Amino acid sequence: MDSLSRDRLPERICIVGLGLMGGSLALALRGRIPILIGVDRDESACHLALERRIVHQATADLSEGVQQADLVILATPVRTILHALAELPRLRPEGCLVLDLGSTKQLICDAMEMLPEAFGAIGGHPMCGREAAGLSAARPDLYQGQTFILCRNGRTTAAIESAALHLIEAIGGRPLSLSPHDHDQVVAVISHLPYLVAATLLRQADETLWPVSASGFRDTTRLAGTDPYMIFDVLLTNRKAILVALERYQADMEELRILLETADDSALIKWLETTQTHYQAYRAHMKP
């Protein structure tokens, strides 16, 4: 651990999972890290990462990949992160720093707290993505200007917090601290519910309707292209909060349906007006 300092990025970083998120992180870090190691169980992703010089070393073997790293970044679907966290004490008994990029945080932070004291760990969730998956969809600017949530937990040391903040700075992200519980509640509404809404909408239109579709349908359904295995883990590991968000959405939609069905025109126009006002406030807030 002697290469670590509170004032700079770790010198040996291992990224586990060379998909969209891990691959984009490697691209954003390229040239700034003396030793960047990639781990992916898909050997073709390892070959591609080496061929494009995205990493210095690549392996399908988690054990081999994490051996030399000061900082291990877990960039796989959530349940694979949980599995790796359970393996780490055996693979690296001397400890290391650990950050993850998983989409839900309570179970991951709980698992981080189970790590031995030789580890320093913090939960992370960059609020960015694309509907395309895999290393070929990775982009060096994916994190640029995007919110990067950090979730402290009982295993969070000053060293891992500092390393995570330096990393976020290096890739142009904007750090935001949240508790794992608050994170999972918030993303259930702002990230997981939108997937369910988009996916259910997409399924309403078969191919006979596609020729009439335009940018509105395309944009509203974009999240339906999300990698099913990634979102499956999200739904399994944040089920309770997502169900609460979904039920509130359904209740609000039923209220709207009743306005339509009963032809309550004055209540309907008020609903439409307040929606546009809400939208304009949201977009004004989101402008840089």
Q: Which of residues 83-142 bind a second copy (CB under 8 A)?
A: 127-129, 131
Binding residues among 163-182 for a second copy as defined by CB under 8 A: 176, 178
Among 137, 165, 201, 267, binds a second copy (CB under 8 A): 201
Query: Least distance from C-beta 31 to a second copy, angstroms?
Result: 26
Among 36, 84, 195, 237, binds a second copy (CB under 8 A): 195
Q: Residue 213 interacts with a second copy (CB under 8 A)?
A: yes
Query: Least distance from C-beta 75 to a second copy, angstroms?
Result: 17
Among 1, 86, 118, 209, binds a second copy (CB under 8 A): 209
Query: Least distance from C-beta 149 to a second copy, angstroms?
Result: 7
Backbone angles phi, psi at 284, to 5 degrees: -65, -40
Q: Is residue 33 exposed (0-12), middle (13-18) or buried (19+ Cβ within 10 Å)?
A: buried
- Residues 270 and 238: their CA atoms lie apart, in Å, by 34
Kindly list the distances between the CA atom of residue 139 and the CA atoms of 19, 41, 149, in Å, as whole numbers in the listed order: 11, 21, 20
Among 88, 135, 167, 187, binds a second copy (CB under 8 A): 187
Backbone angles phi, psi at 38, to 5 degrees: -110, 140
Helix residue ranges per DSSP H, 33-127: 43-51, 62-67, 78-91, 106-113
Query: Least distance from C-beta 113 to a second copy, angstroms?
Result: 23
Amino acid making up residue 32: R
Nearest to a second copy of 114, 246 (CB atom): 246
Q: How many residues bind a second copy (CB under 8 A)?
A: 85
**Sign of the C-alpha dihedral, residues 43, 71, 132, 152?**
positive
Binding residues among 256-285 for a second copy as defined by CB under 8 A: 256-257, 260-261, 263, 265, 268-269, 272-273, 275-276, 278-283, 285
- Residues 170 and 12: their CA atoms lie apart, in Å, by 15
Nearest to a second copy of 117, 282 (CB atom): 282
- Residues 66 and 15: their CA atoms lie apart, in Å, by 9
Interface region with a second copy, contact rule CB under 8 A, candidates 23-31, 32-40, 47-55, 229-237: 229-237
